[in-house]
Amino acid sequence: MAHNGGVLQMSREEFEDLVGQALDRIPPELTRLMDNVAVFVEDEPPPEDPELLGLYEGTPLTERGEWYAGVLPDRISVYMGPTLRMAEREGGDRDLVRDEIEITVVHEIAHHFGIDDERLHHLGYA
């Protein structure tokens, strides 16, 4: 990882490795409950939300009923560009990037479990 003209540089492979590490740190009792969800690393979020760090798309476990069968997996996206830019603004390094990825992954998995942003804030996840 290097600084290049004010932008924190990290290879996609290194970033994906940090996402994998964050997933590995999710308690097994939670990962066992995750159902039909896939995690992806994307370069940039949708243009309408350029600072978005992560996004959960799908049907939370709490809303799945009898109809829930044969559907595409829920999708969790972690966005590399905004994460690196935010770490750069905060004068951060690889450790800060790792911490931000971990918070983002926890945040989006919480949405998979039907936990909303307000509850996450109460639990200490900003």
- Of the CA atoms within 13 Å of residue 53, those in its CB half-sphere come to 20
Q: What is the pTM of this model?
A: 0.84
Domains of the chain and any CATH numbers: 2-59+73-122 (3.30.2010.20)
For the chain, the average pLDDT equals 88
Listed in order, strand segments (DSSP E) in the chain are 2-4, 7-9, 37-42, 54-57, 74-79
Query: What are φ and ψ of residue 12, in 5° steps?
Result: -60, -40
Per-residue pLDDT, averaged over 102-116, amounts to: 91
**How many CB atoms are located within 10 Å of the residue 81 CB?**
17
61-104 pLDDT, tens digit per residue, is 888 888 888 888 899 999 999 999 999 998 888 999 999 999 99
pLDDT score, position 23: 94
The per-residue pLDDT for 7 is 56
